[in-house]
Structure 1
C-alpha cells in the first residue's frame, strides 16, 4: 500500500474524527477539508481545496480504504474509512497509524500523548507492543523504528503507508560551521539538538493538556 501525502492526510483525518468525535462522523467533503487543513495536530499544515480532498478520496476508494454513506433524504455523500477492516488491525493500531499520518515520525512518548483522545494507552509498554505488531504485520510491515539521530534521547517511529519510505538509517548531517550556543563544533551541535528535543517534548505536553481541556469543554 503506497498512498500519496494527500490521501494520507485525508485518511488520517477520517481516523481522527471517527475516534475523537464520533457524533460528527462520517464526514462530508467540506468537513474533511476543514479537518485536513487544521492548524493544530497537523504537520505540515496544509491548504487543500475541496477538489484536492475529492482527489484524495478517489485514491482511497480505489484502494477500498473508504466508503460513502448517505443520510436519509440526503444526496450529499459522507465518507468513512475502512482501514481497520482492510488491514485487520485493532483500534490501538488504527489510532497510532492515524497520528503518524497526521504528524509524521514520533517517539513512543509523543504517540502515547497524542493518541489520548483516540485510544488511551495505560502504559508506554502498550504503545511499544502496538508498534511491534504494526512492524510485524502479516500483510507486511506497517511501521518502522528509525535510527536515533545525534542529540536525540529516543528513537522515532514512522508509518510505511506512504509513496516514499522514511529514511531509517541515514543521520542528518549538519555542517560544522553552523553557529551553535557554545561557538560551534560537535559539542555545540549536540547541545542544539538536545534543546530541540526538549522543545518537542514540552510542546507534546502542552498539546496533551490542551486536548484534555477541549475534551472537558465538549463533555459539558
Structure 2
C-alpha cells in the first residue's frame, strides 16, 4: 500500500475523527477538507482545495480504502475509511498501533515520547515503554521503520511505511507558498551578485 501525501492526510484525518469526534463521523467532503487543513496536530500544515481532497478520495475509493454514503433525501455524501480493522481486511491493528499509525500519517516522523504526548485522545499509553512496544510490533509487521538517532537527540524517530517514494516531494509542493514576481527577481539578482563576487575571488586567488 503506497499513499500519496494527500491520501495519507485524508486517511489520517478519517482515522483521527473516527476516534475523537465519532458523533460527526463519517465526514462530508467539506468537513474532511477542513480536517486536512487543520493547523493543530498537522505537519506540514496544508491548504488543500475540496477538488484536491475529492481527487484523493476517488483514488482511495477505487482502492477500496474508503467508502462513501451517497446520501438520500437531500443528505450530504459522507466518507469513511476502510484502511484498517475491517471485517475482511488484511490490516488489523490494536488500538495503540492504530493511534501510532494515525499520528505518523498526520505528522510524519516522531519519537516515542512525542507519540505518547500526542495520542491521549486516540489511545491510552501508560508510559513510553508501551509506545516502544507497539512500535516494535509495527516494525515486525513491516508497517513502521526506525530511523538512526540524530546527533544531539535522545530518541530515534519512527515513520510509517505506507508512503509512496514521491510523497515527501508532493507534500513540499503542496505547502510551498506563492512567491511574488518582484520577490523572485530580487532573489535572482542577489544570486547574480553572489556569482560575480565569487568570480572576483577566484580571479584574485588565480583559480
- Aligned pairs, number: 164
State the Cα distance separating 1:20 from its structure 2 match. Answer: 0.8
Distance in 2 between residues matched to 1:65 and 1:51, nearest whole Å: 19
State the Cα distance separating 1:95 from its structure 2 match. Answer: 1.1
1:105 to 70, 86, 109: 109
What TM-score comes out, normalization by structure 1 length?
Answer: 0.70
Cα deviations across residues 34-65 of structure 1 (Å, max 9, x unaligned)? Answer: 00001111110101000000011112122221
Q: Which residue of 2 aligns with 1:51?
A: 51
Distance 1:121 1:165, change over 3 A: farther
Q: Which runs of 5+ in 1 are unaligned?
A: 167-220
Q: Which runs of 5+ in 2 are unaligned?
A: 168-207
Q: Which residue of 1 aligns with 2:12?
A: 12
Cα deviations across residues 46-95 of structure 1 (Å, max 9, x unaligned)? Answer: 01000000011112122221111255534421111112223122222111
After the TM superposition, list the runs of 4 or more consecutive aligned residues in structure 1 that deviate by more than 2 angstroms.
69-76
Distance in 2 between residues matched to 1:164 and 1:151, nearest whole Å: 28
What TM-score comes out, normalization by structure 2 length?
Answer: 0.74
Q: Which residue of 2 aligns with 1:163?
A: 164
Q: Is the 8 A contact 1:83 1:94 kept in 2?
A: no
Q: Which residue of 1 aligns with 2:151?
A: 150
Q: Report which of the two structures shows the higher radius of gyration computed on alpha carbons.
A: 2
Q: Is the 8 A contact 2:4 2:166 kept in 1?
A: no
Matches within 5 A, 1:15-164: 15-70=15-70, 73-84=73-84, 85=86, 86=89, 87-137=91-141, 141-164=142-165
Q: Which residue of 2 aligns with 1:197?
A: none
In structure 1, the residue corresponding to 2:80 is in which secondary structure?
strand
The root-mean-square deviation of aligned C-alpha atoms, in Å, is 1.9
Distance in 2 between residues matched to 1:120 and 1:74, nearest whole Å: 39
Distance in 2 between residues matched to 1:39 and 1:53, nearest whole Å: 16
Greater length-normalized contact order (CA 8 Å, ≥ 6 residues apart)? 2
